[in-house]
A and B are shown apart, each in its own frame.
Chain A
Amino acid sequence: AQSVAQPEDQVNVAEGNPLTVKCTYSVSGNPYLFWYVQYPNRGLQFLLKYITGDNLVKGSYGFEAEFNKSQTSFHLKKPSALVSDSALYFCAVRLSSRGYSTLTFGKGTMLLVSP
């Protein structure tokens, strides 16, 4: 079984400050890890993924995430937050084995960036 934990329901940060949205995962095997963002009444937009290689992954809109195998974490980060970054963020994991496997999502973390 695979699972994702996002321990924070909400993260508040002031514009211009760095932000971190936490994610830990559990999977029996090598993981593929993803971050998605959702704006109100919209579908999910892909931000970034970790498949293999460098542990620091850079994605869209200045976001990055660091894969830490020993801590089974994949925290999302951005050096300087924007008000427009305010949205719901989902971490997701799937097995890296060939063939079919489904994405498992965390419960989501609401990011609120204040002006």
Chain B
Amino acid sequence: GAVVSQHPSRVICKSGTSVKIECRSLDFQATTMFWYRQFPKQSLMLMATSNEGSKATYEQGVEKDKFLINHASLTLSTLTVTSAHPEDSSFYICSARPQDILSYEQYFGPGTRLTVT
């Protein structure tokens, strides 16, 4: 089956620093990747959609200058949380949609737990 990895799985950083999270599709090419944020015991909130080779589309209320998304290749998207604050602490999940235009599904990564101290 289609596998999506995320790295790191867990990261702790100090307030004011930046942290990068990688999302990779391991056995398929993904034209589109999605980044979600999940607070404890809550649903996934879509942050942004990235398409390979173009700028990401951010959902309303998400600061694009704070959450930098790069989709440099068909198998890699990165999310950089800049000048992190404790309120950015959350569980970040990426997903990838295969390049096949008829694909109905998104495959989810295992998530990255970010803690900002």
Residues of A18-54 contacting chain B, CB below 8 A: 32, 34, 36, 41-46, 49, 51
Q: Are B109 and A43 in contact (CB under 8 A)?
A: yes
User: Which chain A positions have C-beta within 8 A of B95?
Assistant: 44
Docked CA distance A100–B104 (Å): 10
Of A66-74, A78-86, A101-109, the stretch lying at the interface with chain B is A101-109
Residue-by-residue, is B30-59 near A (CB-CB < 8 Å gives 1, otherwise 0)? Answer: 001010000001111010010000000000
Is A63 an interface residue when CB atoms closer than 8 A count as contact? no
Instruction: Assign chain B's interface to a size class.
Output: 20 to 34
Closest to B109 in A: A43
Closest to A91 in B: B43
Q: Are B106 and A103 in contact (CB under 8 A)?
A: yes
Most B CB atoms within 10 A — which of A43, A45, A100? A43
Is B8 an interface residue when CB atoms closer than 8 A count as contact? no
Q: Are B91 and A46 in contact (CB under 8 A)?
A: no
Closest to A88 in B: B41
A32, A41, A110: which contacts B91 (Cβ < 8 A)?
A41
Docked CA distance A88–B91 (Å): 15
Closest to B106 in A: A103
User: Which chain B positions have C-beta within 8 A of A98?
Assistant: 101
User: Which chain A positions have C-beta within 8 A of B41?
Assistant: 88, 108, 110
Q: Are A43 and B93 in contact (CB under 8 A)?
A: yes
Q: Are A106 and B111 in contact (CB under 8 A)?
A: no
Q: Are B111 and A102 in contact (CB under 8 A)?
A: no
- Residues of B near any A CB (own CB < 8 A): 4, 6, 32, 34, 41-44, 46, 49, 91, 93, 95, 101, 104-111, 113
- If A41-B113, A46-B105 are given as contacts, then 12 extra A-B residue pairs at C-beta distance below 8 Å, sorted by A number, are A41-B91, A42-B111, A43-B6, A43-B93, A43-B111, A44-B108, A46-B108, A98-B101, A102-B34, A102-B49, A103-B106, A105-B44
Closest 6 CB pairs of A and B: A44-B108, A43-B110, A43-B108, A107-B43, A43-B111, A105-B43
Q: 15 A-B contacts, Cβ less than 8 Å apart?
A: A34-B105, A41-B113, A43-B93, A43-B108, A43-B109, A43-B111, A44-B95, A46-B105, A46-B108, A49-B104, A98-B101, A100-B32, A102-B46, A103-B46, A107-B43
